[in-house]
Amino acid sequence: MQRRDFLKGASAGLAASAAVALQGCSKKEMADATSALPTVHWRLASSFPKSLDTIYGAAEVLVKRLDKITGGKFQIRAYAGGEIVPGLQVMDAVQQGTVECGHSASYYYVGKNMAYAFDTAVPFGLSARQQNAWMYYGGGLELTRELFKANNIVNFPGGNTGVQMGGWFRKEIKSLADLQGLKMRIPGIGGQIMAKLGAVPQTLAGGDIYPSLERGAIDAAEWVGPYDDEKLGFAKIAQHYYYPGWWEGGPQLSFYVNIDKWNALPEAYKQAFEAAAAEANVNMLAAYDHKNPIALKHLQAAGVQLHAFPQDVMAAAEKAAFELYEAEAAKNEAFRKIYTQWKPYRDAEIQWFKLAEASYNNFIEK
C-alpha cells in the first residue's frame, strides 16, 4: 500500500468505526479501515531492572510485537523499574494515569489487599500451567479483573517464571529446628509463613541481597531460579541450594493498563495488545525453561550442593499457608471471594496433574 493511502484516510473520526468494519469486509475495505487507525504513544513502567532480562524482557516482547502488528502506529516505550516510576509503585502509577500501562508482579501489592497475590502466586498454589488454565478458562481473569477494576486497571497475564528455587542457605537445613531464628531474605506471603515456622524473614531489594548474605547479616536468601540466581553470584557465599520454592509454584507477571486509556483504544489495538500480552506470557516461561537447565549445570560445576527441603519443613509450611488463607478469608471479603473459587479449582487441577502428568514425569525423569 502507498504511503499516501495511509494518510488519506487518517482522520480521527474514522478510527472508532474502523475496527468494527474489519469483520466481513473486502481486502480493500480492510486496508482503508486500518489506514484510518490513529498513532498512539504510550509509556510502560516496569517493576523490574534490565538485569532481570527474562522478566523485564516480557515488556520488550509486547512492545515489539505491537509495533509490528500495527505497522508502527501503536508505540509503547518501556522503562525499567525506577526509571520513571519506582519499581513497587507501578500499580499506583497506572491507576493514576501517570503512565498508560505497566508490567509488575501483583503480589507486590498485598499491602493494599492480600487478594492481589492470586494474580501472581500464593504459597502452595498453582503451577504455571495451572495458573494459565485458571486465568484463561477457569474464571481467574474475571475474578482478578473485578479486583483491579476498583483501581482503574485492566490486567493481563504477562509471563511466568515457572516454579522457583527455594534459595541459598549458608548452612544445611536438616529439619524444621534448623529454621529457628534463621534470617532469610524472603518477601511477601512466603515470608509470613517462614515467620510462622520460626525464621526471621527480611525484605531486601535484589542489589542488597548479595552483600547482606556475604557479611552474614542474613543466613539465607531466595531470588528466582538458576538463571537469575547465577548472575547474582550466590554460589560463592552460600553453597546449599534448596528446592522447591514452595511460595512460588508458578508466579505470574502481569501487564496493567489504565482503564480510561484502554477504553479509548480502537478495537483493533485492543486485540493487538491482548495477543502481544499472551505472546509475552508464553515466551517468558519458554525462555526460563530453556535457560534454567543450562545455568544449573554451571552452578553444579561450581560446587553448589542441591537439597530438597525436608518433608517436615514442607508439611509445616503447607499447613501454615492454608491456616493463613482461612484466617484472611474470614476477615477480607475480596480475598474470600477469590479464595473460595480458587481453592476447589486448584484441588481439581492437582488431581488431574497427579495422574497423567506426574506419572509420565516420574517415569522419564530417571
Q: How many residues bind Ca ion (CB under 5 A)?
A: 1
Choose between 37 and 238: whose C-beta lies nearer to Ca ion: 238
- Interface segment toward Ca ion; rule CB under 5 A; list 11-19, 106-114, 157-165, 272-280: 157-165
Residue 251 CB, shortest distance to Ca ion, in Å, is 7
Choose between 234 and 269: whose C-beta lies nearer to Ca ion: 234
Q: Which residues of 264-280 are buried (b: 16+ CB within 10 A; e: fewer)?
A: ebbbbbeebbeebbbeb
- Interface segment toward Ca ion; rule CB under 5 A; list 66-74, 87-95, 160-168, 192-200: 160-168
Binding mask 162-181 for Ca ion (x = CB under 5 A): --x-----------------
- C-beta separation of 232 from 223 below 8 A: yes
Closest CA to 153 of 98, 114, 110: 98
Residue 104 CB, shortest distance to Ca ion, in Å, is 14
C-alpha grid cell, residue 128: 504455571
Choose between 95 and 164: whose C-beta lies nearer to Ca ion: 164
Closest CA to 165 of 225, 97, 232, 216: 225
Binding mask 341-360 for Ca ion (x = CB under 5 A): --------------------
Closest residue to Ca ion using C-beta atoms:
164
- Interface segment toward Ca ion; rule CB under 5 A; list 156-164, 168-176, 255-263, 275-283: 156-164
Q: Helices H, strands E: what count in the chain?
A: 15, 11
Choose between 139 and 244: whose C-beta lies nearer to Ca ion: 244
Choose between 70 and 164: whose C-beta lies nearer to Ca ion: 164
Beta bridge partners of 51: none
Rounded Cα gap, residues 286 and 20, in angstroms: 34
Half-sphere exposure for 127 (CA within 13 Å, toward CB) = 13
Binding mask 100-139 for Ca ion (x = CB under 5 A): ----------------------------------------
Residue 324 CB, shortest distance to Ca ion, in Å, is 18
DSSP helix/strand/coil, 167: strand
Closest CA to 73 of 41, 35, 39: 39
Segments of 1-110 assigned E as strands: 40-46, 74-79, 101-104
DSSP class of residue 256 equals: E
- Interface segment toward Ca ion; rule CB under 5 A; list 159-167, 201-209, 264-272, 318-326: 159-167
Residue 245 CB, shortest distance to Ca ion, in Å, is 6
Binding site for Ca ion (CB under 5 A): 164
